[in-house]
Structure 1
């Protein structure tokens, strides 16, 4: 039986494997780095599966990595786990060394600018930043995925289990008294039988539109909070808070393609901006994080939100499209 903890461990292993992928494809990688990789590989059986998955994933991309591999730059090891062979920097031709260095740098930038790529690549259903999608699950329930969201589902036999790997999703669950519907989302577990509700993994919140849900933490299943219509609870400081009433129009505005903020701190606004388009949005001046913004914006128009920040808060922004946007004074 797969648990929420198992899924978290797998995602962590995939992220670590991606970092090793980048480091090991540097032709100047030291023997110390390779020994550290072998230590990491042997530390957990999940690491071998993760590194295999990452190599296969990158090999399938129609990118220079695949072309370089076909040219002979990469040679698969005879062992089933694709461990890169040690390479002597002095013996690598200039062109191949340069290509490998560029590849490693490009891979690092690619993963940094879009950290959700690994979660989405291994998910049953996913959306890119700026995309929203309706997904009909095998039991007939509806899941609406916000930008940069990924989930897995298991509807076999008497199970109805969804694991939210990242992002935010709204569920309209088909009632089935014999098969409770469970959502695992990091520190939050949600149990329902038939209702409509939202789970935000990043914010660790659960919001109910109608019906009734039971919310608990994975380590505190006996300490649960019951929510009903238009209530929200957050998991903070290792515990569930007290249910609070929410404003319906604001809470689910993203499903209508809108972002509504009411004196929201800039740190929260940045999380919404990250869902709108590829690339990171970074606050350079930490003192700005508590500065608040109010307004209604289209969820697919990041530029309008940035313009509102400049006009209302007097901040400046610097953007490299698809890579990063800096917010500073």
Structure 2
């Protein structure tokens, strides 16, 4: 097999839902063999991101043996997916990103153009700089971008079906429980939605996008909104599902909300992200909910 074929095999393995800790270690060793190995893997991941997959699965005639094998494979896949959600099994998608953070981890990335990206926990960021454009893809999580001024190369962040473009500014893009938020703290950014709609956001402003479109433009306290860098998040009358979504980035396990009614209950408070149990007690008391604690860090709010 060529290096390219080996690299494609690694990507296929990591996106199969069956990746293990040993696979991740073996991949790091494979990429460390030479610059050519590392370059082949980067190219394979780039092609995977563009195409969405590396191959189309073959069709097989059903038989009893295949059915039994499929049942076992399905159980294993369920274990792997469950393990990924609980934070105990590596997420193959994270290994495909150029930069990623684990649960409860923050990281500052120095980009090739002199810009910086501050990654929140459980974040995936890919970078593709060219002579014409600085393109980044935030596949999950949240990041603050400190952008170096360069009028000849737009700095464009892709998240879901929208883009955020800046020339020289500081802004945050965040994946929410049901949407994307864009917060500008310095300068101006332009947000372009999938339907082509454009909107400019200035320093001290924030807007949330969801399936219904853009919400109202809001004035915000930038320091309060970006307090996660200090391990704190402030909520004021926001749906419980949004708080749980953020806490799950820091919780080794999974917090689950039992119903849509509970998910939409408004919650307020200042929460320490490294003290998830304390936050859960506040939620129980403030919203009169009960928390059922199960093995592996699973907590059900009802």
TM-score, normalization by structure 2:
0.74
Equivalent residue for 2:94?
A: 120
Q: What is the 5 A alignment of 1:150-169?
A: 150-169=124-143
Aligned counterparts of 1:270 and 1:120: Cα–Cα separation in 2: 21
Residues 67-108 of structure 1, C-alpha deviation per residue, up to 9 Å, x if partnerless?
xxxxxxxxxxxxx98879989766999xx9998686444224
Aligned counterparts of 1:293 and 1:213: Cα–Cα separation in 2: 30
Larger Rg: 1
Q: CA RMSD in A?
A: 3.5
Give the stretch that moved more between structures: 254-263 or 319-328.
319-328
Aligned counterparts of 1:55 and 1:189: Cα–Cα separation in 2: 25
Aligned counterparts of 1:91 and 1:217: Cα–Cα separation in 2: 44
Equivalent residue for 1:316?
A: 290
Out of 181, 187, 190, the position equivalent to 1:214 is: 190
Equivalent residue for 2:271?
A: 297
Aligned counterparts of 1:313 and 1:159: Cα–Cα separation in 2: 47
Aligned counterparts of 2:242 and 2:164: Cα–Cα separation in 1: 23
Give the CA deviation at 1:295: 1.6
Aligned pairs, how many? Answer: 262
Equivalent residue for 1:201?
A: 175
Out of 76, 79, 94, the position equivalent to 1:106 is: 79
* 2:203 pairs with 1:243: no
Give the CA deviation at 1:267: 1.6
Q: Report if the CA contact (8 A) 2:156-2:164 is conserved.
A: yes
Structure 1: 5+ residue stretches without partners: 1-47, 67-79
Equivalent residue for 1:54?
A: 14
Aligned counterparts of 1:62 and 1:129: Cα–Cα separation in 2: 19
TM-score, normalization by structure 1:
0.69
Structure 2: 5+ residue stretches without partners: 1-7, 27-54
